[in-house]
């Protein structure tokens, strides 16, 4: 391994000095080179089989592979990875996966169906944040041979759901590595990932970098193209733009270069801006509502708030055009499920005021009808900016919003555990199928403490029944129709208010080849990514 020598003093002395040690000898680029990437966070758990989140996938997806990956042109929008074929039974009680042969783990041991069975039963179903939902009815995995895994379900489980979930829930871990761990979720092995992917995990220096190195035994012919990937920890997003312009890093994904800098940096010679590669990672800006508050339990108030929001203004000024207005809980770029024919709430302050007047919420002498606590999520600049905008929009209809800004931990505790909020701004994510991460936003009965879920106390028996019916509907057309109906009901009753939906932007040196080659590119394996001389 070629050592990296960075010190914390360097990190604190600015972008130029921060990245100066990456002026490496030319010999390092002889066999594919070292790709240097900006990373703005350091996940506490690097095992995507347990924590299926973009921050974890960004690094670990190059090391640990799923059964299938999202694809622009593959069958059902999927490309084979550790599985080469898959099919579901007509009754929804089984799903069969044919596994890739000749694959080895990074420690040289063979990959087999036993690894898939272990991952599904011991990790995805009991431990993974999303797998708990997708594999709720999984009761056994048969392994008739080393390259066949048959999933058995206790109740009908739509194969449409399993298929759509494969890229995000099916990261496979090695049975022989984890089977003797007393507590898999707490194992230190989760931060030293070992997989079958094109890169091996080499080193993590907190506050500085992650280092991945080429897997010479990777199953993909002629892959990977790179020798190393370095994820440099750059929490300051503005620093990424300067580092790219100085040639000190090669790539910044997930809009780490601020949107306000894109027009300028796109004109810099040798730098390219990529808007593709995030279609399967659609983020949705939504207003979460605490229905325990008397005023917010009133549909007229929720509809007034929806009419007070100028979605086009938000897209133009906060997202600088890199977003589109939402119509509901399923984004427009998910055509398999998206329903456009839903109740709409166009920007209309006069109408919003009239709704509040008729509902009996009169303005006081100070012009205020009532006050609310508004908590913007701190994860993105855009969510914080929208919180400020929403405060002004609500003031125009006589609602005083007191903005409470917290760090990530305090925000999640206040909203999802303590329910200490009236309105919150959330960046929810659509992950390919409404059952994976969308229905939980409106289904009642979610235990307190579960993030990005219905913690506003909203209850609607009709919506709950529709969600439960869809969960066991194996006919694809019938299941899709149920989710289209769900969107109509949600838009009508407004348990939450969807405002905008956005993908991210990747900015890269034009020396980086095969950028944005699939709809989850930033969190895929980068086996074909290359550095051109």
pLDDT digits (tens, 9 = 90+) for 173-207: 999 999 999 999 999 999 999 999 999 999 999 99
- Position 332 in a domain: yes
CATH number of the domain bearing residue 439: 3.10.105.10
Q: Is the pLDDT of residue 22 over 90?
A: no
Q: Is the pLDDT of residue 54 over 60?
A: yes
My answer on whether 140 and 94 are in the same domain is: yes
Maximal C-alpha separation, the chain? 77
Model confidence, pTM: 0.88
My answer on whether 172 and 92 are in the same domain is: yes
Contacts for 104 with CB less than 8 Å, ≥ 6 apart:
110, 111, 196, 217, 219
- φ and ψ at 392, to 5 degrees? -70, -40
CATH number of the domain bearing residue 39: 3.40.190.10
| Banded model confidence at residue 19, pLDDT cuts 50, 70, 90 | very low
- Position 214 in a domain: yes
| Banded model confidence at residue 14, pLDDT cuts 50, 70, 90 | very low
Question: Quick check: 415 and 292 in contact, CB under 8 A?
Answer: no
Q: Quote the number of domains for the chain.
A: 3
My answer on whether 96 and 245 are in the same domain is: no
Q: Is the pLDDT of residue 47 over 90?
A: yes
Can you give the pLDDT at residue 463? 98
Question: Quick check: 524 and 533 in contact, CB under 8 A?
Answer: no
Name which of 248, 273, 255 is nearest 6 in CA terms: 248
Domain-terminating residue out of 143, 178, 213: 178
My answer on whether 271 and 389 are in the same domain is: no
- Position 185 in a domain: no
Section 501-514 average pLDDT = 94
Section 321-339 average pLDDT = 95
Section 501-518 average pLDDT = 95
How far apart, in whole angstroms, are the C-alpha atoms of residue 430 and residue 436? 8
Ranking 30-34, 141-145, 148-152, 446-450 by mean pLDDT, the lowest is 30-34
How far apart, in whole angstroms, are the C-alpha atoms of residue 328 and residue 497? 8
Tens digit of each residue's pLDDT (9 = 90 or more) over 208-228: 999 999 999 999 999 999 999
Can you give the pLDDT at residue 451? 87
Question: Quick check: 104 and 196 in contact, CB under 8 A?
Answer: yes
My answer on whether 403 and 489 are in the same domain is: yes
My answer on whether 378 and 411 are in the same domain is: yes
My answer on whether 424 and 374 are in the same domain is: yes
Can you give the pLDDT at residue 138? 98
My answer on whether 213 and 234 are in the same domain is: yes
Name which of 283, 181, 265, 229 is nearest 60 in CA terms: 229
Section 100-124 average pLDDT = 98
Can you give the pLDDT at residue 238? 79
Q: Is the pLDDT of residue 9 over 50?
A: no
Domain-terminating residue out of 178, 212, 239: 178
Q: Is the pLDDT of residue 244 over 90?
A: yes
Question: Quick check: 217 and 104 in contact, CB under 8 A?
Answer: yes
- Position 63 in a domain: no
Can you give the pLDDT at residue 204? 97
Can you give the pLDDT at residue 25? 35
Can you give the pLDDT at residue 4? 42
Ranking 13-27, 147-161, 505-519 by mean pLDDT, the lowest is 13-27
My answer on whether 320 and 407 are in the same domain is: yes
Can you give the pLDDT at residue 179? 97
My answer on whether 375 and 408 are in the same domain is: yes
How far apart, in whole angstroms, are the C-alpha atoms of residue 228 and residue 418? 44
Which domain covers residue 35, as residue numbers?
A: 8-20+31-45+197-279+505-531
How far apart, in whole angstroms, are the C-alpha atoms of residue 453 and residue 442? 7
Q: Is the pLDDT of residue 1 over 80?
A: no
Q: Is the pLDDT of residue 27 over 80?
A: no
| Banded model confidence at residue 31, pLDDT cuts 50, 70, 90 | low
Section 369-393 average pLDDT = 96
The long-range contacts involving 179-183, CB below 8 angstroms and separated by at least 24 positions, are 179/118, 179/122
My answer on whether 474 and 343 are in the same domain is: yes
Is the pLDDT higher at 31 or at 68?
A: 68
- Position 296 in a domain: yes
Section 332-340 average pLDDT = 94
My answer on whether 330 and 443 are in the same domain is: yes
Q: Where are the alpha helices (DSSP H) in 359-460?
A: 381-395, 408-412, 434-437
The whole-chain average pLDDT of the chain stands at 92
- Position 183 in a domain: no
Q: Is the pLDDT of residue 355 over 70?
A: yes
Domain-terminating residue out of 178, 206, 227: 178
Q: Percent of the chain having pLDDT more than 70?
A: 94
Ranking 5-14, 118-127, 374-383, 417-426 by mean pLDDT, the lowest is 5-14
Question: Quick check: 291 and 497 in contact, CB under 8 A?
Answer: no
- Position 191 in a domain: no
- Position 251 in a domain: yes
């Amino acid at each position: 391994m070629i050592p990296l020598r960075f010190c914390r003093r360097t990190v604190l002395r600015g972008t130029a000095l921060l990245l100066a040690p990456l002026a490496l000898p030319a010999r390092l680029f002889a066999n594919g080179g070292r790709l240097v990437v900006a990373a703005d966070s350091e996940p506490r758990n690097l095992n995507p089989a347990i924590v299926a989140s973009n921050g974890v996938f960004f690094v670990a997806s190059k090391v640990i592979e799923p059964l299938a990956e999202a694809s622009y042109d593959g069958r059902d929008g999927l490309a084979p990875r550790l599985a080469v074929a898959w099919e579901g039974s007509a009754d929804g009680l089984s799903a069969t996966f044919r596994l890739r042969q000749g694959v080895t783990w990074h420690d040289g041991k063979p990959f087999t169906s036993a690894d898939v069975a272990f991952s599904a039963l011991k990790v995805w179903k009991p431990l993974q944040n999303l797998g708990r939902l997708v594999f709720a009815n999984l009761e056994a995995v048969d392994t008739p041979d080393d390259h066949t895994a048959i999933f058995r379900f206790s109740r009908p489980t739509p194969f449409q759901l399993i298929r759509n979930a494969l890229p995000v829930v099916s990261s496979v871990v090695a049975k022989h590595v984890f089977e003797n761990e007393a507590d898999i979720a707490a194992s230190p092995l989760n931060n030293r990932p070992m997989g079958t992917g094109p890169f091996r995990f080499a080193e993590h220096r907190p506050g500085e970098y992650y280092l991945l190195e080429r897997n010479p035994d990777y199953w993909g012919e002629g892959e990977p193209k790179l020798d190393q990937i370095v994820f440099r920890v750059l929490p300051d997003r503005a620093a990424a733009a300067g580092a790219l312009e100085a040639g000190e890093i090669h790539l910044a994904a997930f809009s780490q270069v601020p949107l306000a800098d894109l027009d300028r940096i796109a004109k810099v010679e040798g730098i390219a801006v990529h808007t593709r590669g995030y279609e399967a990672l659609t983020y949705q800006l939504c207003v979460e509502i605490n229905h325990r508050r008397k005023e917010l339990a009133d549909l007229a108030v929720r509809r007034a708030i929806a009419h007070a929001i100028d979605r086009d203004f938000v897209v133009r000024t906060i997202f600088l055009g890199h977003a589109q207005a939402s119509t509901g809980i399923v984004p427009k770029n998910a055509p398999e499920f998206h329903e456009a024919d839903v109740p709409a709430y166009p920007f209309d302050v006069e109408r919003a005021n009239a709704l509040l007047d008729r509902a009996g919420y009169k303005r006081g002498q100070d012009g205020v009808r009532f006050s609310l606590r508004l908590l913007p999520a701190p994860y993105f600049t855009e969510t914080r900016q929208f919180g400020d905008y929403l405060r002004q929009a609500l003031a125009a209809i006589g609602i005083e919003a007191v903005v409470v800004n917290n760090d990530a931990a305090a925000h999640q505790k206040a909203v999802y555990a303590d329910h200490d909020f009236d309105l919150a701004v959330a960046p929810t994510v659509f992950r390919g199928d409404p059952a994976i991460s969308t229905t939980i936003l409106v289904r009642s009965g979610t235990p307190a403490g579960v993030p990005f879920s219905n913690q506003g106390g909203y209850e609607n028996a009709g919506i709950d029944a529709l969600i439960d019916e869809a969960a066991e509907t194996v006919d694809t057309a019938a299941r899709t129709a149920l989710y289209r109906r769900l969107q109509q009901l949600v838009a009508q009753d407004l348990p939450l208010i969807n405002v905008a939906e956005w993908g991210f932007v990747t900015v890269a040196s034009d020396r980086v080849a095969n950028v944005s080659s699939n709809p989850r590119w930033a969190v895929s394996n980068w086996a074909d990514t290359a550095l051109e001389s």
